[in-house]
């Protein structure tokens, strides 16, 4: 049985919060477009139409389930129906027909930009993620460097990656800026005492606790907190140490040191995971993925994604 990482928050995609976010996203995109004056001037308002969306490039489809969900909601004011030929996660070849859209011709034209943009960006993320996943021996995760927040995370999931935290609300992630703003000693002391002073309404939403470290000394300081038997006595959380911008040589050295007394199996049994991040790309993923980390996170999957091209034709 494959180990479930704390970075897998895909359960969130089944919640009402995610559904509301999807509806809000599409409504805002449509409202920002305003009135389609071109269609109103040149297309009869009562005319029915039929169009199809076609992939112009190879890739992995994502965004289909979100479009399908929105179109079927009461909030969708468009008089259209969509029949899907491909679904999220399907491999695409240039020329593949993705779906047929039928209904009011003006509504189809109103929805063209939004639907193509969603499929294009999210399929680009899913395609890049699958490429990395297939090259990596280590599970892959996203970061919070997203443009469309939850939708980007869903595309990572469709491509075979882990979402990481969904926002600021569902995990503690202590980064360098927190250590600078508060002072490292104070932050680590607060971490040790977190369950004593943190409000229950905050604690109940935390899925995991992660601390970013930049050198060996910081790593061992954080590891000591996570291994302290008086910390999290109820074994409530998963714990992650992020090695930020470590070279492959230093990661290998660190794992050799730690492994002598506390190997990966023992760490995972204690619910402690090691993540590596920073400067990792498709070109060097194989080297980083061979080092023994539990997960690798890449911001490039969302902040530097190349979209997949689609077209809509009547």
For the cut 70, the answer to whether the pLDDT of residue 141 exceeds it is yes
Does residue 1 fall inside a structural domain? no
Please indicate, yes or no, whether residues 153 and 255 belong to a single structural domain of this protein. yes
Answer yes or no: is 40 within a domain.
yes
- In this structure, the answer to whether residues 114 and 203 fall within a common structural domain is no
199 shares its domain with 234: yes
Percent of the chain at pLDDT exceeding 70: 99
pLDDT at residue 34, as a whole number: 85
For 129-139, write each residue's pLDDT tens digit: 999 999 999 99
Residue 296's domain comprises: 135-303
For residues 231 and 119, what is the distance between their CA atoms, to the nearest angstrom? 45
* 289 inside domain: yes
Are both 81 and 188 inside the same structural domain? no
Distance of CA 310 to the CA centre of its chain: 22
Asked if the structure places residue 190 within a domain, the reply is: yes
The rounded distance, in Å, linking the Cα atoms of 58 and 92 is 5
Q: Do 139 and 225 have their domain in common?
A: yes
Q: What is the mean pLDDT of residues 73-100?
A: 98
pLDDT at 267: 94
Q: What is the CATH number of the domain that holds 205?
A: 3.20.20.70
Q: If you average pLDDT over residues 303-309, what whole number do you get?
A: 94
If asked whether residues 155 and 113 sit together in one domain, one would say no
- 138/292 Cα distance (integer angstroms): 8
- Residues 75, 176 share a domain: no
Q: Are residues 140 and 260 in the same domain?
A: yes
Domain count, the chain: 2
Instruction: Find the mean pLDDT for residues 105-124.
Output: 96
**Size of the chain in residues:** 314
Rounded CA gap, 11 and 291, in Å? 29
- Across the chain, mean pLDDT equals 93
> What CATH number does the domain containing 37 carry?
3.90.1170.20
CA distance 304 to 147: 10
Residue 4 falls within a domain, yes or no? no
What tens digit of pLDDT does each residue of 220-237 get?
999 999 998 888 777 788
181 pLDDT tier (thresholds 50, 70, 90): low
Burial 186-221 (b: 16+ CB within 10 A, else e): ebbeebeebeeeeeeeeeeebbbbbbbbeeeebbee
- The C-alpha atoms of residue 233 and residue 181 are separated, in whole angstroms, by 28
User: Is residue 152 assigned to a domain?
Assistant: yes
Q: How far apart are CA 58 and CA 223, in angstroms?
A: 44
**122 and 176 share a domain?**
no
| Per-residue confidence band for 45, with pLDDT thresholds at 50, 70 and 90 | confident
Alpha-carbon span 108 to 101, nearest angstrom:
7
Please check whether residues 120 and 144 belong to one and the same domain.
no
The angle at the Cα of 150, spanning 239 to 307, to the nearest 5 degrees, equals 115
Per the domain annotation, does 277 fall within a domain? yes
The pTM score is 0.94
The verdict on 261 and 197 lying in the same domain is yes
The pLDDT tens digits of the residues spanning 276-293 come to 999 899 999 999 999 999
- pLDDT band for position 104 (50/70/90)? very high
Residue 2 falls inside a structural domain: no
Instruction: Please name the residue ranges forming H helices in the chain.
Output: 16-33, 37-42, 64-71, 105-135, 150-158, 176-182, 184-192, 194-197, 200-203, 216-227, 248-259, 264-269, 285-289, 300-303
On whether both 119 and 242 belong to a single domain, the answer is no
- For residue 184, pLDDT over 80 is answered with no
């Amino acid at each position: 049985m494959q180990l479930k990482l704390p970075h897998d928050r895909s359960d969130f995609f089944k919640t009402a919060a995610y559904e509301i976010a999807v509806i809000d996203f599409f409504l805002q995109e449509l409202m920002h477009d305003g009135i389609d004056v071109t269609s109103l001037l040149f297309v009869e308002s009562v005319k029915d139409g039929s169009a199809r969306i076609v992939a112009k490039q190879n890739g992995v489809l994502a965004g289909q389930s979100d479009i399908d969900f929105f179109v079927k909601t009461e909030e969708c004011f468009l008089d259209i129906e969509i029949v899907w030929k491909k679904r999220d996660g399907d491999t695409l070849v240039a020329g593949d027909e993705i779906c047929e859209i039928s209904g009011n011709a003006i509504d189809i034209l109103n929805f063209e930009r939004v639907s193509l943009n969603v499929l294009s960006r999210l399929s680009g993320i899913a395609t890049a993620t699958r490429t990395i996943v297939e090259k990596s021996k280590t599970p892959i995760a996203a970061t919070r460097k997203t443009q469309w927040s939850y939708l980007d995370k869903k595309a990572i999931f469709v491509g075979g990656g882990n979402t990481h935290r969904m926002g600021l609300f569902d995990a503690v992630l202590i980064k360098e800026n927190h250590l600078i703003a508060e002072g490292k000693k104070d932050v680590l002391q607060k971490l040790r005492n977190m369950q004593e002073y943190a409000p229950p309404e905050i604690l109940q939403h935390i899925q995991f606790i992660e601390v970013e470290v930049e050198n060996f000394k910081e790593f061992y300081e954080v590891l000591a907190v996570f291994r302290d038997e008086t910390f999290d006595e109820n074994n409530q959380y998963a714990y992650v140490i992020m090695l930020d911008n470590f070279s492959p040589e230093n990661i290998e050295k660190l794992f050799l040191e730690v492994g002598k007394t506390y190997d990966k199996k023992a760490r995972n049994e204690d619910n402690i995971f090691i993540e590596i991040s920073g400067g990792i790309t498709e070109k060097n993923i194989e080297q980083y993925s061979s080092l023994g980390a539990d997960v690798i996170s890449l911001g490039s999957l969302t902040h530097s994604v190349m979209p997949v091209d689609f077209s809509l034709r009547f």
